[in-house]
């Protein structure tokens, strides 16, 4: 029994780290990365995703612990519905952005030389919702109770106290923050490498948007069919 709780928390941390690598998380974040010119901003966004994800988990554990809400495995599928709609929205935005930028690139190409710059010029002293990482935080909030994250609620309900359940959610969340930091860095590398070739960069953006739309539709079909 003395080793059971430390082992559970260690597995919770590893579970949170692995949770970041689920396909819907990676695809959702990929739709946000095409406008991040710096790896440091991509890293900040990934960590913000983890923070938003952890916030939702902690709130979920609090609601269950304080209000004594009963959650069963049958309820977990419904947490996927907001994620599906978010993926559809992110996918449509990324795809539209890619198509519109490709069209502008084609209009601004003269004699085979593209006169085009990827992304906006940075203003380091101005506050930016995007540069502050808030889009990643918002996406993480929606993702918090989806996928294997929802299973955390069932695990937390078996722990001996609300304090233990909250601590477990925080440990799981720490793993997800570190995992998503790694995910965003890995995904940001091809976008960064493609910035020298705008057409390829926009095609990569369009691919991430298309994948997000496909995954959103498939999740809705699997959940509601």
Structural domain boundaries in the chain:
4-110+131-224
Mean confidence (pLDDT) of the chain: 82
Distances (CA, A) of 76 to 71, 123, 157, 222: 8, 43, 14, 13
- The per-residue DSSP string of 90-111 comes to HHHHHHHHHHHHHHHHHHTEET
Q: What is the sign of the dihedral through the CA atoms of 209, 211, 212 and 217?
A: positive
Give the residue from 62, 21, 14 showing the smallest Cα distance to 180. Answer: 21
| pLDDT value at residue 196 | 84
Distances (CA, A) of 4 to 7, 97, 170, 199: 5, 50, 18, 54
| pLDDT value at residue 95 | 94
Overall pTM surpassing 0.85 (yes/no):
no
| pLDDT value at residue 109 | 59
| pLDDT value at residue 184 | 92
More confident residue, 37 or 197: 197
- Does the structure show a pLDDT above 80 at 182? yes
| pLDDT value at residue 73 | 64
């Amino acid at each position: 029994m003395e080793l059971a709780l430390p082992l559970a928390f260690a597995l919770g941390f590893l579970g949170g780290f692995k949770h970041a690598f689920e396909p819907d998380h990676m695809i959702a974040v990929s739709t946000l990365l095409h406008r991040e010119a710096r790896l440091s901003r991509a890293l900040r966004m990934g960590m913000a995703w983890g923070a938003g994800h952890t916030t939702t988990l902690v709130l979920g554990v609090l609601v269950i612990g304080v209000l004594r809400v009963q959650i069963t495995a049958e309820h977990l599928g419904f947490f996927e519905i907001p994620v599906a709609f978010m993926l559809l929205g992110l996918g449509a935005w990324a795809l539209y952005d890619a198509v519109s930028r490709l069209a502008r690139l084609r209009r601004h190409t003269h004699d085979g030389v593209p006169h085009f710059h990827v992304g906006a010029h940075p203003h380091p002293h101005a506050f930016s919702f995007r540069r502050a990482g808030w889009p990643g935080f918002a996406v993480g909030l929606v993702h918090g109770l989806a996928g294997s994250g929802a299973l955390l609620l069932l695990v937390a309900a078996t722990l001996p106290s609300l304090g233990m359940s909250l601590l477990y959610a925080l440990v799981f969340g720490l793993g997800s923050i570190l995992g998503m930091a790694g995910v965003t860095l890995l995904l940001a590398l091809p976008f960064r490498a493609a910035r020298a070739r705008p057409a390829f960069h926009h095609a990569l953006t369009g691919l991430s948007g298309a994948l997000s739309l496909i995954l959103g539709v498939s999740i809705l079909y699997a959940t509601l069919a």
